[in-house]
Amino acid sequence: MAITKKPNGKWRAVFDYKEQGERRRKVQTFKTKSDAKIWLAGLEANSTPQNLDASKILFQNYFKDYARVHLESGLKESTIASWEAVEKYIINVYFNNLYMSDLTRNIYQNFLNKYAVGHTRNTVNKRHQIVKMVIQQAFHDGLITTDPTYNVRISGSDSKDSSEKFLEADEFRTLLNHITDSPKLIRWRTSFMVYLVALSGIRAGEALALTTDDIDTLNKTISVNKTKQRSGESTEPKTKNAVRTIKMPNEFFSIYSQYIENKEFNSNNELFDGRRYATIANTWLHRIEQELGFNNNVSIHGLRHSHASYLISKGVDISYISKRLGHADITITMEVYAHLLSEKQIIEEEKTQNILSDI
């Protein structure tokens, strides 16, 4: 086995093996050295005569071996969690005791059809992409002669309508006022987290990783420089644009001073001690939304959408909103809030027509 860097910056991987007593070689080029290592490790794990026989390899075991090598290459904890979920809830359920040689397109399509019941099309496709990666590796390695994932049909229910992902402007204001008007609520971790996310638009993981050092009461800003993983570990944000400084209104710092008064924090001085507050805050938020009679019950992440949609409705520049949200680029913001931007465009077109008509 050997990995060498080519003049064009890509990586060439070479795998030598024996088949029926004859020496053979497989060569493949990759964009990254990590991908080359994964490919070689996968071949090495399946290079014995017994493993090269698809009729003797359970798909569960092949998936587990591939996942182990793939995840060791250094992936985000959220990605690792997705792979572990696929293994537990899909591979071990829908492909239990299935040999690689028996994996056909009909069997795979049947899995997709069954999994689509009770899941959105987007969720089905995300799970499909992970399973597909493993199956296509087996196909390219020559372990199976056809690709069962080729030209399959992805079904499932429609994703939640965009209008249901955020609160209306009056609901958004009502929620914030409900918290700030209660001396008791502004001191609770759950309700203060809801307030902070709604007013800043930051992600739940970013909020959970905040420490008292990240709150600048002098310059009236919040520094977002890390995110909380499911394990409770704080890591760097996934993109460079996610590292940002957010301006906050004066009222926030008045509420913040009441929140931290006489409160004990952990050794890291985190505002919210533990990942579990994301779940607790969601439960509390849904209960309050029902009590207040809102049309839509949104999650903590929905408050981020509510924050952005509220700013758009007030005419705030979309490029600033994109930076405030920490999106990788403005196209993401425009895609997510396309429905709101199209409504705003109609208003702007009418204003333009009136202005030009007065010439």
Higher model confidence: residue 132 or residue 34?
Answer: 132
Where are the chain's structural domains?
Answer: 1-48, 52-159, 166-349
CATH of 52-159 among 1.10.150.130, 3.30.70.60, 3.40.1010.20, 1.20.1080.10:
1.10.150.130
Q: Which residues are CB-neighbours of 293 under 8 A, at least 6 positions away?
A: none
- pLDDT for res 222: 97
- pLDDT for res 31: 86
Higher model confidence: residue 313 or residue 55?
Answer: 313
Specify the 3-state DSSP secondary structure of 9: coil
> Into which CATH architecture does domain 166-349 fall?
Orthogonal Bundle (1.10)
Please compute the mean of the pLDDT values over residues 26-35 and round it to a whole number. 85
> Residue with structure tokens 């009770």?
118
- Mean residue pLDDT of the chain comes to 84
Please compute the mean of the pLDDT values over residues 9-28 and round it to a whole number. 76
CB-count burial class (<10 Å; 0-12, 13-18, 19+) for 342? exposed
Please compute the mean of the pLDDT values over residues 68-90 and round it to a whole number. 80
Question: Does residue 188 surpass a pLDDT of 60?
Answer: yes
Where residue 22 falls among pLDDT bands split at 50, 70, 90? low
Please provide the distance, in angstroms rounded to a whole number, between the alpha carbons at the two ends of the chain: 75
Specify the 3-state DSSP secondary structure of 5: strand
Question: Does residue 51 surpass a pLDDT of 60?
Answer: no
DSSP 11-41: EEEEEEEEETTEEEEEEEEESSHHHHHHHHH
Question: Residue type at 244?
Answer: R
Where residue 130 falls among pLDDT bands split at 50, 70, 90? very high
Question: Does residue 126 surpass a pLDDT of 50?
Answer: yes
Q: Please state the length of the chain.
A: 359
Question: Residue type at 33?
Answer: K
Count of CB atoms within 10 A of residue 222's CB?
Answer: 22
**For residues 324 and 3, what is the distance between their CA atoms, to the nearest angstrom?**
42
Highest mean pLDDT among 49-53, 233-237, 249-253: 249-253
Do 52-159 and 166-349 show the same overall fold? no
Give me Rg for the CA atoms of the chain. Answer: 26
Where residue 162 falls among pLDDT bands split at 50, 70, 90? very low
| Under 8 Å between Cβ of 313 and 169 | yes
Question: Does residue 324 surpass a pLDDT of 90?
Answer: yes
**For residues 310 and 170, what is the distance between their CA atoms, to the nearest angstrom?**
9
Please compute the mean of the pLDDT values over residues 309-320 and round it to a whole number. 87
Please compute the mean of the pLDDT values over residues 99-124 and round it to a whole number. 90
User: CA distances (Å), 292 to each of 130, 171, 183, 229, 329, in order?
Assistant: 41, 9, 18, 31, 35
Question: Residue type at 34?
Answer: S
**For residues 277 and 187, what is the distance between their CA atoms, to the nearest angstrom?**
14
Where residue 150 falls among pLDDT bands split at 50, 70, 90? very high
- How remote is the C-alpha of 283 from its chain's centroid? 20
Q: What is the pLDDT of residues 259-302, one digit of tens each?
A: 999 888 888 899 987 666 667 788 889 899 988 998 878 888 88
- pLDDT for res 343: 64
- How remote is the C-alpha of 233 from its chain's centroid? 17
Where residue 349 falls among pLDDT bands split at 50, 70, 90? confident
**For residues 84 and 127, what is the distance between their CA atoms, to the nearest angstrom?**
11
Count of CB atoms within 10 A of residue 232's CB?
Answer: 12
- 290's tokens: 């029902």
Where residue 252 falls among pLDDT bands split at 50, 70, 90? very high
**For residues 322 and 3, what is the distance between their CA atoms, to the nearest angstrom?**
40
- pLDDT for res 226: 93
Question: Does residue 238 surpass a pLDDT of 80?
Answer: no
